[in-house]
Amino acid sequence: MSEDNFEQMLNETFKTIHTGEVVEGEVIDVKPDQIILNIHSKSDGIITKSEYSNDSSIDLTEVVSVGDTMEAKVMKVNDGEGQTLLTYKRLAAEKGNKRLEEAFNNHEVLIAPVVQVLSGGLSVVVDGARVFIPASLVSDTYEKNLEKYNGQEIEFVVTEFNPRRRRIIGDRKQLLVERKKELQKELFERIHVGDTVTGTVKNVTDFGAFIDLGGADGLLHISEMSWGHVENPKKVFKVGEDVTVLIKNINGEKIALSMKFPGQNPWLNAGDKYAAGSVVTGRVARMTDFGAFVELEPGVDALLHVSQISHDHVDKPSDVLKVGQEIEAKVVDFNGQDHKISLSMKALESAAPKYDDMATIGDMMQVEGDAAEEAEPVEEAAAPEAVEAVEAEAAETVDAE
């Protein structure tokens, strides 16, 4: 066989390939940093690690095996050493771009893993093609730290497709907003004022807590958190915990919530517990110049007027009382309709007369007599003994001085 015939046979056996052509070959050897393919050409095809993946830490022996069939794109027919340089990742990216273009034109929702968290957003990969999702389009609420998305599969739509400028933008926020609108519509069709529902604490502020009801947030104002007094909502609620609340009011898209359940209203039986004339114990909750408010139980406060604190003159309640102090007082008035209770500590004080240093026995007896007239009448049979006792006490007081 002549050399010309042999060369012709080789040309017929091995196909001619060109730069940019897509070829298919069988893996005949794989090393950590390169893959060798039999592409049925005069030379084998080489795929380096950098042309297989953007992940520099990848070990090709862990992702490709001898005997696998692969498609690749020809980068260079002769690299100077008689080998053909191929690229796997660029072909995958081209296929991915076609997939993204279809999704962009059809407004299709895609699902892809987050491969990298960047300072300005997230990077996801669809069939080898990268999509950038800006931080402002990751969620419908502000998120300071996006690391929680790393490695997760997320849904998004392609809102901008310009591969020539390497600008392919994804939007996750759009989907969240649309779904929330659907959930919101379902929620408002389902709930009514007076309903008891379960929600999740989404945020806690100084004035209240926002509760996620599944489609819309409701405000639980600090004044509606308990029948009692709540000083700091952050000490009562934690973000993420489930709570049962009452729908107090619905105004457009605003929902007012309450935890003052009617059946737990302490005023329902307050008339029996705090009737006028009864002696009660309470805690000083707060004070003003005209009196002190005493908590008898959570949700039931009573007013202790400054004039009812003591027989002695009291200028301000804070002169003799402290917030948190427990006191005993007598209920002098109960108004269940207006939720008002008036107390008196003075009514429980002993009305024992006081004498000045220059008082005579006669003065003392006169004061005792006046006090006796104001007090309940004493039986006549016991009057002499009572007078003798007063005289004896007064005499002892003078002798002692």
pLDDT band at 391 (very low <50, low <70, confident <90, very high): very low
Residues 6+ away with beta carbon under 8 Å from 285? 229, 292, 293, 294, 295, 301, 323
The H or E element that residue 298 is part of is none
What is the DSSP secondary structure assignment for residue 290, as one 8-state letter? S
Please tell me which residue, 123 or 17, carries the higher pLDDT value.
123
The answer on pLDDT for 385 being more than 60 is no
CA 363 – CA 399 distance, rounded (Å) = 16
Please tell me which residue, 6 or 279, carries the higher pLDDT value.
279
The reported pLDDT for the residue numbered 107 is 93
Q: What percent of the chain has pLDDT over 70?
A: 83
The reported pLDDT for the residue numbered 31 is 94
Lowest pLDDT segment from 60-74, 296-310, 356-370? 356-370
The answer on pLDDT for 5 being more than 80 is no
Q: What is the pTM of this model?
A: 0.56
In 137-195, which ranges are E strands?
Answer: 153-162, 167-171
Residue 97 three-state SS: helix
Indicate the average pLDDT of the chain. 84
Q: How many CA atoms lie within 13 A of 393 on its CB side?
A: 13
Strands 196-204 and 242-251, how do they pair? antiparallel
CA 359 – CA 39 distance, rounded (Å) = 128
Using one digit for the tens of pLDDT, what is the confidence trace for 78-137?
Answer: 766 678 999 998 888 888 889 999 999 999 999 999 999 998 999 999 888 889 999 999
The answer on pLDDT for 276 being more than 90 is yes
Lowest pLDDT segment from 55-69, 211-225, 358-372? 358-372
The reported pLDDT for the residue numbered 94 is 85
Q: How many CA atoms lie within 13 A of 219 on its CB side?
A: 14
Mean pLDDT over residues 330-352, rounded?
A: 88
Please tell me which residue, 376 or 349, carries the higher pLDDT value.
349
pLDDT band at 248 (very low <50, low <70, confident <90, very high): very high
pLDDT band at 319 (very low <50, low <70, confident <90, very high): very high
pLDDT band at 360 (very low <50, low <70, confident <90, very high): low
